A and B are shown apart, each in its own frame.
Chain A
Amino acid sequence: MEKRIKITINGDTTEVPQGTSILDAARQSGVIIPTLCYHKDLCVAGNCRVCVIEIAGQKRLAAACATPCEDGMEVLTNTLKVRNARKHIIELLLSEHNAECTSCYRNGNCELQKLASDYKIMTQDFLDLIPFKNYTIDNFSPSIIKDDSKCIRCQRCVRTCAELQSVNALTMSYKGEHARITTFFEKSMNEVVCTNCGQCVNHCPTGALTERNYIEEVWSALSDKTKFVIVQTAPAVRVGLGEELGFDPGERVTGKMVAALKRLGFYAVMDTDFTADLTIMEEGTELLSRLKGVLVDKRQDIKLPMATSCSPGWIKFIEHLYPNFLGHLSSCKSPQQMFGALVKTYYAKSKKIDPSKIVSVSIMPCTAKKFEAARPEMNDSGYRDVDYVLTTRELAIMIKQAGIDFLKLPDMHFDRLMGESTGAGVIFGATGGVMEAALRTAYELVTGRDVPFENLNITPVRGMEGVKEASITIENPLKDWAFLDGVQLKCAVAHGLTNAKFIMDALKEGKADYHFVEFMACPGGCLGGGGQPIPTNPEIRKKRALAIYAEDSGMPLRKSHQNPEIVKIYKDFLGKPLGEKSHKLLHTTYIKRTNF
């Protein structure tokens, strides 16, 4: 039995389990203590000192996030001493902060700004320290901009990159007045092990880390009458976009999103879920071909487990840190890139549009996709396959700039040719979704039957546990797949790069006997991506996941191979999965990168 203790907060007694922090106990008691360096996803730091409170009998104030309750403790959160101290802390932060809020990307959604506003810091008593600093801005990465002048040294990004993602691209360096957050030898984010996953951006309380935005470039393209600006939207966007536009977390805004995009002036609004379905066809076939290669032909050069390859953050992760295991990656491009390659070939051909006039835009929950679109090899269409990637946040900004009243929009449908999708495509947005989609198709391909799960919901791969495992035994397969009879197909799902590391380290030691592993760089999968609305936390991500699965169960078609547009594209254009055209347009290669 967990020991329970009583403490009083501002005179009200409350009972909590022993070990609870004063911050959590206060919340239970209806008292919200402001914080900055604290984040639900991360370990406690206790360095910003914003959450200081008074404990009766102690002269010094204590940090509520870092101090455990003790039986009989009397906590006071709103005394003059506390408020004056807190005001000083905020003023100190502002004095070394580039507080030009009007020109800041996080204007309106900045935690420091909110604190300054709540406490009505209307004058700056202290000296402005900015002139004495050599603040730098690193904007060399196509995905992330790091602006030291806005950093409050809360180290949330460092903890995120270390604990949550095990990438460790960022560190606190130097000390004293020179203490700052840097990369290895203060190189540009672009030159180090940064995977562009953008979790640091999601967890940064201010504008110190933001995505590189391409809003003006897209506006420019949209107003160019000679261009056909075509947009694709990722599955996770439709369950996150609402949060930026007046909806609660977990509300699906698919129809409104399409309507908004049409109003913005895109020539065609199509769906990445379509190419998600396509990915399943290609990747499913690839998996089966690898299984045959290993189980029947006993080939040494074919690697199992096969790893999914739709998460560019994960791809850069393995390229930097496990470069000897690239053979495990599926050669399939991500749905975004498949779409990009097809829009300037298949789509252009069908609609008789000059592909050089197409501007291919994608709306993604992801910052790494910006890097992915810019990878040199992503031009199999003969042009840059994806020209601009906008995050969910950037789309919301454009919608607001255009004066679109999002709440009043009607629901509209995606455009034809590459806008049809199944439930299997939409679940790509959640951790476990790719695996589930792949199993729904592969199992039926091999046995002629539905996966043995009620309503096709493969629940073992769903949910927020870091590493999930599932296995399906193949019984009575179709003749062509006889070699799989009795084979227990072992699958694993990892989300967040720390869990990816866990599996890769196991693989290194020969302890990962899976056939197929889904890797997602971001916690929760794409729905928790670096480009999704801020803030992020476990509750919000759970709600977005429920929305994704609700969207899936509400769709008429739930298996990728049933998608009529998929059937059509193979019939009219690609031929067959892993065929020659597929290889040219839909598959890719990877490179080894440095480990710093």
Chain B
Amino acid sequence: MSTTHLLKRADFIFKSDNDWKDVLKKSLSRKANELINELISSELKGRGGAGFPTGLKWKITSEIDSDEKYVICNADEGEPGTFKDREILSRVPFKVLTAIAVCGHVTKAKKGFIYLRGEYFFLKEGLEKAILEFETFCKTIGFDFSISIFMGSGAYICGEETALFESMEGKRGEPRNKPPFPSSCGYLNKPTVINNVETLAHTYTIFKYGAKRFYDLGVQFSRGTKLFSVSGDTPKPGIYELELGMSLADFVEEFGDDDTKAVQVGGASGFLVPRKRFAETTIGFQGRLVGISLPTGGSMMLFNSSRSMFNVLDNYLNFFAEESCGQCTPCRVGCQQLLRGIKAVKRGEKNAGYLDKLLKLAETMTYTAKCGLGQSVANSFSSIVENFREEMIY
């Protein structure tokens, strides 16, 4: 937690990927253990929102004995307010491809996939060209690895790792029970490393510059930089690479203004932070979620005083009710209850006290839902209802 940490920009991700061949060759010449330790000491954590330590993830899969293993790049970016992965794939695709291949080298996987959301179809041709060039080069250096693109078809839930596997296997994108975890039982029930696009782009930075360079940025528990997708009521919408650990107040100082009423950190499955809490909120990981430090996929949506928080919450709940896979009770029915519940309170059909019942329901969803979608609905629900209660009623 820091109030003096200033907004620090960095420029690693979008720096040209022209040197990919060197980075690839250099990395492939190193031992798997070395590469894993590099990642572990960098303390890089997943940038898709879940924040799992990347080095550990690669380590676990590399230690499992299996004839078939896979590396999958999760490009099913669908969290509202997030658009960074699209940029990465269109501007510096070779960084991602290199990272996938190095992961293959580390884990002994021979095949990589990019699960690309259907809405990003326009990226496919460019990516295919890049992959062709990449695979050709790999052949010349004797590295046996191939990458394919798998297209999604309009399902936010397929960004959840096990739902993604189900989708790739030709089934409905319904998340699986965990355990077992993807590291041991993933795509086709084989050991799989699945990483977000940005996470892979960061591993490129680490392999190129070494762990220390990455580790030296950011703060404790939240090392390195992150891409932030900034949108909403801001004069500076766009994508920015910033060191982790900044306070939200500093962020708003740069990207918002005096009229910024609230910021949604992490998309619809993230938290809405009201102005009064900007100073005490840090953007980073801190082991467990404590309400002050927020792990995030980097979506930052700013709302000014003209925005109705009721409309915002209504929009999110509509989103979840539609995109839920529908298999588990707390999420399938819970989302509908929350959505219709706030409408009922607003219309006066239920009194204000009903909001407290809904808050308890949201809590139950967090404890009992089968996957991250259902477990995260309470994040925005509780933070909006608790901080803007009057807007739910009047």
- Asked if chains A and B come from one complex, the reply is yes
Give the contact stretch, choosing among B30-38, B308-316, B366-374.
Answer: B366-374
- Fill in one digit per residue for B327-344: 1 if any A CB lies within 8 Å of its CB, else 0: 111101111110011001
User: Which of these, A85, A125, A178, contacts B326 with CB under 8 Å?
Assistant: A178
User: Which of these, A46, A59, A92, contacts B367 with CB under 8 Å?
Assistant: A59
Given contacts A47-B328, A52-B368, A93-B329, contact A172 B337 (CB under 8 A): no
Complex Cα spacing A571 to B369, Å: 69
Minimum CB–CB distance for B145 against chain A, Å: 34
For residue A456, CB closer than 8 A to chain B, the reply is no
CB distance B326 to A46 under 8 Å?
Answer: no
For residue B301, CB closer than 8 A to chain A, the reply is no
- Fill in one digit per residue for B113-147: 1 if any A CB lies within 8 Å of its CB, else 0: 00000000000000000000000000000000000
Q: Which residues of B contact A176 (CB under 8 A)?
A: 320-326, 332, 335
User: Which of these, B157, B177, B328, B370, contacts A175 with CB under 8 Å?
Assistant: B157
For residue B242, CB closer than 8 A to chain A, the reply is no
Complex Cα spacing A112 to B361, Å: 20
Minimum CB–CB distance for A568 against chain B, Å: 58
For residue A49, CB closer than 8 A to chain B, the reply is yes
Minimum CB–CB distance for A429 against chain B, Å: 37
Q: Which residues of B contact A135 (CB under 8 A)?
A: none
Residue in A closest to B323 when the chains form the complex, CB atoms: A176
> Which residues in window 166-194 of B have CB below 8 A to A?
172-174, 177, 179
CB distance A93 to B367 under 8 Å?
Answer: no
For residue A401, CB closer than 8 A to chain B, the reply is no
Complex Cα spacing A49 to B367, Å: 10
User: Which of these, B179, B340, B357, contacts A68 with CB under 8 Å?
Assistant: B179
Residue in B closest to A66 when the chains form the complex, CB atoms: B177
For residue B264, CB closer than 8 A to chain A, the reply is no
Most buried by A among B155, B326, B330: B326
Complex Cα spacing A84 to B361, Å: 10
- Fill in one digit per residue for A95-106: 1 if any B CB lies within 8 Å of its CB, else 0: 110000000000
Q: Which residues of A contact B332 (CB under 8 A)?
A: 153, 176-177, 179
Minimum CB–CB distance for A106 against chain B, Å: 19
Residue in B closest to A93 when the chains form the complex, CB atoms: B329
For residue A126, CB closer than 8 A to chain B, the reply is yes
Complex Cα spacing A446 to B336, Å: 69
User: Which of these, A45, A47, A126, contacts B361 with CB under 8 Å?
Assistant: A126
Grouping DSSP codes into helix (H, G, I), strand (E, B) and loop, the A interface class, with mixed when no group exceeds half, is loop
CB distance B367 to A61 under 8 Å?
Answer: yes
For residue A517, CB closer than 8 A to chain B, the reply is no
> Which residues in window 359-383 of B have CB below 8 A to A?
360-361, 364, 366-370, 375
- Fill in one digit per residue for A363-398: 1 if any B CB lies within 8 Å of its CB, else 0: 000000000000000000000000000000000000
CB distance A175 to B323 under 8 Å?
Answer: yes
Q: Which residues of A contact B327 (CB under 8 A)?
A: 45, 47, 153, 155, 172, 179
CB distance B322 to A177 under 8 Å?
Answer: yes
For residue A170, CB closer than 8 A to chain B, the reply is no
CB distance A179 to B326 under 8 Å?
Answer: yes
CB distance A47 to B370 under 8 Å?
Answer: yes
User: Which of these, B155, B357, B366, contacts A125 with CB under 8 Å?
Assistant: B357
For residue A63, CB closer than 8 A to chain B, the reply is yes
For residue A487, CB closer than 8 A to chain B, the reply is no
Complex Cα spacing A68 to B367, Å: 18
Complex Cα spacing A15 to B131, Å: 52
For residue A44, CB closer than 8 A to chain B, the reply is yes
For residue A482, CB closer than 8 A to chain B, the reply is no
Given contacts A60-B375, A155-B327, contact A92 B369 (CB under 8 A): no
User: Can you report 15 residue pairs joining A to B where beta carbons are below 8 Å apart?
Assistant: A45-B327, A49-B328, A59-B367, A60-B366, A61-B368, A67-B177, A85-B367, A88-B360, A92-B337, A95-B337, A126-B341, A172-B327, A175-B323, A177-B335, A179-B325
A residues whose Cβ falls under 8 Å from a Cβ of B: 44-50, 52, 59-61, 63, 66-68, 81, 84-85, 88-89, 92-93, 95-96, 125-127, 129, 132, 152-153, 155, 172, 174-179
Taking A95-B333, A175-B322, A176-B321 as given, write out 20 further A-B residue pairs in contact, using a Cβ cutoff of 8 Å, ordered by the A residue number: A49-B370, A67-B177, A67-B179, A84-B360, A88-B364, A89-B368, A92-B333, A93-B333, A126-B341, A127-B340, A129-B340, A132-B336, A155-B327, A172-B326, A175-B172, A176-B323, A176-B326, A177-B321, A179-B325, A179-B326
